[in-house]
Amino acid sequence: MQVKLTIFRYDPENDKKPHFDKFTVEAEPTDRVLDLLEYIKDYKDGTLAYRRSCAHGVCGSDAMRINGVNRLACKVLVQDVGTTLKVEPILGLPVQRDLIVDMEPFFDHYKSVIPYFVGSEEMPQKEQLQSPEDRERFDDTTKCILCGACTTSCPSFWANGNYVGPAAIVNAHRFIFDSRDQAVVERLKILNDQFGVYRCHTIFNCTDACPREIQVTQAVGEVKKAIATARLD
Amino acid sequence: MALDRKVGFWEGVRYKGGGPMLAWALHRISGLGMIIFISLHVVASFFTQQMGSDWAIGINIIYESPYFQLFIVFAVLFHALNGMRIIILDLWPKMLRYQREMTWLQWLIFIPIYSLTIFIMIQRVMAGG
Ligand code: SF4
Ligand code: FES
């Protein structure tokens, strides 16, 4: 089958403004959108720029807007999105070139929530065991690959880049609800800020965009409630 | 140089967030709509009473027309029900998993009440009321 692609183009060295380029390529229904981009780059226009690494939905490099919603190009099949495609960069981060955006502001927000395990001060003498139920509590949010699809689908983030965004909250949730972690209070304090969890207006674009099917809005809601009630349940 | 991060209004509207994003947008629009029109109504009523000014009477004629009333009932009812849904989701975050079902439930309550309103209004208009 033939697939028609309209792709967002911007070359900072030669273009004043972005424009769209059209390509038609031959594809199988089971091809992924990433395969089409690879084909275009290899055979039609070598200057097309996008990020990808694993090509299997693990590294989180190729989040982009495909027909108006954030998706990983390596996880979306042609048969699921149709034969007329519009491919654009994710929103709310500066576009550096074509489909490549500057992810630095995104990772700065990520770093701001202490996204790592903080153990007890004294060195434990043996392993710190955790019950399967306690592990289950935060299982959903361990699956994040930091692709940025959620944060850049969020109207609150579009409106104000200072909002930490759903991805950072998901990664805070991962440790806030970990029974062994010691930095819960600090993290809740960081997120109880005017640019913290309360910027979330339950719009659900993040949950829909997440390629790992994480219940992103639920994670944000649980952190909101933990802040409001000062309890983790 | 990289492009500005700014997301234009139309760019944002074009994002296909679907039902939940629409509910959020309607919540904002209905909220703003209620504030603007109800305060306008109060101010216009005051001016009509005090000095019978023409523009104030004009505004109240619009306000009391059945079409406009349909809009205002929509705004109040939608805003109230959607607000309830969000309050429930805020109080019991576990329910966020079932937000699709909750949105259906919201429309299931909304449609009969709103239809009844339309029905009664049409009846009144027909009866010349
Ligand atoms: S929560 Fe999902 S959408 Fe957001 S960064 Fe992680 S994997 Fe990507
Ligand atoms: S290329 Fe690694 S997630 Fe798509």
Residue A213 has pLDDT above 70, yes or no: yes
Write the pLDDT tens digit of every residue in B72-111: 999 999 999 999 999 999 999 999 999 889 999 999 999 9
Confidence of residue A233 (pLDDT cuts 50, 70, 90): confident
CB contact under 8 A, B96 and A67: no
* pLDDT the model gives residue A120: 87
* pLDDT the model gives residue A174: 98
Of A68, A96, A225, the CB nearest to B2: A96
Residue A181 has pLDDT above 60, yes or no: yes
Confidence of residue B49 (pLDDT cuts 50, 70, 90): confident
- In three-state secondary structure terms, B37 is helix
In whole angstroms, what is the distance from residue A123 CA to residue A128 CA?
11
A205 inside 8 A of chain B by CB: yes
Query: Which domains are present in chain B?
Result: 20-127 (1.20.1300.10)
Query: CA dihedral in degrees (B27, A210, A80, B23; nearest 10)?
Result: 0
Write the pLDDT tens digit of every residue in A36-55: 999 999 999 999 999 999 99
- In three-state secondary structure terms, B94 is helix
Residue A108 has pLDDT above 90, yes or no: yes
Atom 1 of ligand 2, residue of closest alpha carbon = A55
Contacts with A159 from chain B: Cβ below 8 Å: 7
- The chain-wide mean pLDDT, for chain A, equals 96
* pLDDT the model gives residue A36: 98
The DSSP H or E segment spanning B112 is helix B99-126
CB contact under 8 A, A105 and B5: yes
Write the pLDDT tens digit of every residue in A92-104: 999 999 999 999 9
Find the range with the poorest average confidence among A49-58, A69-78, A143-152, B15-24: B15-24
Contacts with B12 from chain A: Cβ below 8 Å: 91, 155, 158
CB contact under 8 A, B99 and A161: no
Supply the ipTM of this predicted assembly. 0.89
Residue A24 has pLDDT above 90, yes or no: yes
For chain A, give the DSSP string. Answer: -EEEEEEEE--TTT-SS-EEEEEEEE--TT-BHHHHHHHIIIII-TT-----SSSSSSS---EEEETTEEEETTT-BHHHH-SEEEEEPPSSS-EEETTEE--HHHHHHHHTT--S----SSPPSS-----HHHHHHTTGGGG-----TTGGG-HHHHH-TTS-HHHHHHHHHHHHT-TT-S-HHHHHHHHSSTTSGGG-----HHHHH-TT---HHHHHHHHHHHHHHT---
Write the pLDDT tens digit of every residue in A54-88: 999 999 999 999 999 999 999 999 999 999 999 99
A15 inside 8 A of chain B by CB: no
Residue of chain A minimizing CA distance to B11: A91
Contacts with B104 from chain A: Cβ below 8 Å: none
Of B16, B24, B94, the CB nearest to A201: B24
* pLDDT the model gives residue B93: 93
- Side chain identity, residue A156: S
Return the half-sphere exposure (C-beta side, CA atoms, 13 A cut-off) of residue A214.
29
Which of left, alpha, beta for A146 (phi over 0: left; psi -120 to 50: alpha)?
left
Query: Which domains are present in chain A?
Result: 2-101 (3.10.20.30), 104-229 (1.10.1060.10)
Determine the distance separating the centroid of ligand 1 and the alpha carbon of A132, expressed in angstroms: 24
Residue from A154, A146, A174 nearest A60 by CA: A146
Determine the distance separating the centroid of ligand 2 and the alpha carbon of A83, expressed in angstroms: 22
Residue of chain B minimizing CA distance to A221: B93
Determine the distance separating the centroid of ligand 2 and the alpha carbon of A100, expressed in angstroms: 13
- In three-state secondary structure terms, B98 is helix
A166 inside 8 A of chain B by CB: no
Confidence of residue B40 (pLDDT cuts 50, 70, 90): confident
A82 inside 8 A of chain B by CB: no
Nearest ligand 2 atom to alpha carbon A59:
2
Residue A190 has pLDDT above 70, yes or no: yes
Q: Average pLDDT in the B34-59 region?
A: 85
A185 inside 8 A of chain B by CB: no
Confidence of residue B129 (pLDDT cuts 50, 70, 90): low
For A61-98, give the DSSP string. Answer: --EEEETTEEEETTT-BHHHH-SEEEEEPPSSS-EEET
Nearest ligand 1 atom to alpha carbon A170:
1
Residue A180 has pLDDT above 60, yes or no: yes
Determine the distance separating the centroid of ligand 1 and the alpha carbon of A81, expressed in angstroms: 20
Burial profile A8-36: b = 16 or more Cβ within 10 angstroms, e = fewer? bbbeeeeeeeeeeeebebebeeebbbbbb
